[in-house]
Amino acid sequence: MQLNSSTDYAIRMLICLAKASGAVSSSQLARTIGVSPRYLLQIGARLRDAGFISVSFGAAGGYRLSRLPGEISLLDVITAMEGRKDLSECRSCIKEKQEFRLLRHVYEELEIGITRQLQTVTICELLPEE
């Protein structure tokens, strides 16, 4: 399983917002996570639509979390950014073939394990200790 770069940046953005005490400007966030301001707006829009962040405008405006960091799992973010991901692109190819039953079982077990792990890790757990 490989995450899209936008998903990786979305997770970084949420970590930065979780560390902040107030709203964070888009220019500051873009610099911190290493993306262009335009790309940040695209990522921010998807996170806002998923209900993870809010955006306010004006002098004191910026991005802030809409949920507590401990309530946002990595699975939540990945699903919001990419949809459900299968371990193998050929999962449907092997589903009906009896000779690949054991391989399908291995893939299913791996997906269950990965999903469980991603469900348990929250943005709160990814905050650096200070």
Q: List the chain domain ranges.
A: 5-126
CATH code given to domain 5-126: 1.10.10.10
pLDDT tens-digit profile of 81-120?
998 876 666 655 556 667 777 887 788 888 889 999 999 9
pLDDT tens-digit profile of 34-65?
999 999 999 999 999 999 999 998 877 899 99
Indicate the pTM of the whole model: 0.86
**CB–CB of 124/68 below 8 Å?**
yes
The pair phi, psi for residue 53, each rounded to 5°, is -135, 165
Q: Cα(35)–Cα(51) distance, rounded to whole angstroms?
A: 22
Angle at 74 between CA 79 and CA 47, to 5 degrees: 60
Q: Cα(60)–Cα(38) distance, rounded to whole angstroms?
A: 20
